[in-house]
Amino acid sequence: MPSDPSGGNDPRRPASPGLWRDPDFRRLWLGQTVSQLGEHATTVILPLLAVLAFHADPGGLGALRAVGQAPILLLSLFVGAWVDRWRTRTTMVFADAGRALALAAAAVACLCGRLGLPALFVLAFTVGALSVVFDVAYQASLVRLVRRDRLLRGNSALEGSRSAAQIGGPALGGALVSLLSAPAATAAGAVLFALSFLAIRRIRRTEAMPEPPPRPSRVRHRVGEGLRFVARDRLLRAVCVASAAFQFSFAALMTVYLLFLPRELRLPGTVVGLALAVAGPGALLGSLLAARLPARFGYGPMLVCAAAAGDAAFLCVPALHGSSAVTVAALLVVGFVFGLGGQLVNVALMAVRQSVTPDGLQGRVAATITFVGMGLTPLGSLVGGLLAQAWGLRTSLSITAAGMLLSPALMALSPLSRLGRQLPSPHGKSATA
């Protein structure tokens, strides 16, 4: 097994072509982008399948979302330790193939009338577990694939598409369900994962692995190294806390929001899909601005302002009534602003994480932040469902929308808010980002 302690950045290697002229990078970017779209579309397709096909109540919907998110809490730390030892290409291909087969089987079972709620819970957990494997692997993949002089641009491209998919994927899922039947939308999700499988499988370059330690440590020791590194770094601690607050509140809000639009506002499926889809253009604009705003205003001010503006947009939704043109226009503005702010925050936080993390810890640090930042999402989904059952959709949406503001408040009180136009390097030196 070839190894390279520099994580693929040995200056003695021959010069690689320009980033977008590198066919292996294009395959990685394409596969990762399509896979992320499929992953985040599925987070809406499966709940809408439960609501439309099985008439799930708020508590059942919250439980389904929680089951799909539980692997983040249960598996991410161990997956991070394993990924630092495995080839990321093989790992991503395995995860894509598993998700494609699971969704295809579910679509066929649904068409045959053999898919019930218990099977849907199993499907949600399976897809969630394989998504954890893929997400941790792709975040460690670029470091092993490209030279150091290509790393910044490569990370920007991958994170930009991931953030856009994170915001636009649910929109795509809503649009697929509204335009197609729920089983057909599930099959479309399988197709997305199959396309990602084909793209990543065609990567030809042998990835450079970090030099293994003289005495291989146990998984729990490698997990502990990642936890300790994050715990000792003040910036990474702040990223974890702010991410946890956002993901908990957002999971609760989305559980209520997916019920509020069709049931309280009585919007048709096409309008629900449009209200979710408009976050995509906002994310696209955010990806264009993400490379410029930190150089002008600094990372800290941009992070706090973008998070506050994007999260606060949902506060106006509980005041909407009916399905008038004004209501639809307001929902479109909310989705666009949220997509814009969310993209700016995601790109900046990824830059912070990657800038302070050594190559050999990228997988474990990514997994640790995923574990801490998203570990509360199952609880958030359950809380959203319970709030909706106890206090109604409108009141619950007001509470969860207000909770979204906790994340920018924590950022404002943390070292993240004091970041300037440059980010610190793993060695404590500043590095342009």
Return the HEC string of the chain.
CCECCCCCCCCCCCCCCCHHHCHHHHHHHHHHHHHHHHHHHHHHHHHHHHHHHHCCCHHHHHHHHHHHHHHHHHHHHHHHHHHCCCCHHHHHHHHHHHHHHHHHHHHHHHHCCCCCHHHHHHHHHHHHHHHHHHHHHHHHHHHHHCCHHHHHHHHHHHHHHHHHHHHHHHHHHHHHHHHCCHHHHHHHHHHHHHHHHHHHHCCCCCCCECCCCCCCCCHHHHHHHHHHHHHHCHHHHHHHHHHHHHHHHHHHHHHHHHHHHHHHCCCCHHHHHHHHHCHHHHHHHHHHHHCCHHHHHCHHHHHHHHHHHHHHHHHHHHHCCCCCHHHHHHHHHHHHHHHHHHHHHHHHHHHHHHHHCCHHHHHHHHHHHHHHHHCCHHHHHHHHHHHHHHHCHHHHHHHHHHHCCHHHHHHHCCHHHHCCCCEECCCCCEECC
Residue 102 confidence (pLDDT): 93
- Alpha-carbon Rg for the chain in angstroms: 21
> Is the separation of the CB atoms in 100 and 131 below 8 Å?
no
Phi first, then psi, for residue 112 (nearest 5°) are -90, 0
Determine whether domain 21-203+219-427 maps to CATH 2.120.10.80.
Answer: no
Task: List pLDDT tens digits, range 158-217.
Answer: 766 776 676 677 777 877 877 777 788 888 889 999 999 999 888 887 766 555 555 555
Q: In the prediction, which pLDDT does 195 show?
A: 94
pTM above 0.75, yes or no: no
What confidence score (pLDDT) does residue 152 get? 57
| Residue range 369-424, pLDDT digits in tens | 878 877 788 888 889 988 988 898 899 999 999 999 999 999 999 998 888 877 66
Q: Do residues 154 and 87 touch, judged by C-beta distance below 8 A?
A: no
- pLDDT recorded at residue 271: 80
What are the residue ranges in the chain where pLDDT is below 70? Answer: 1-18, 81, 83-85, 140, 143-144, 146-153, 155-156, 159-160, 163-164, 166-167, 207-219, 269-270, 359, 423-433
Q: Taking each helix axis as running N to C, give the angle between helix 234-259 and helix 393-403, from 0 to 180 degrees, rounded to the nearest 10.
A: 170
Per-residue model confidence (pLDDT) at position 431: 43
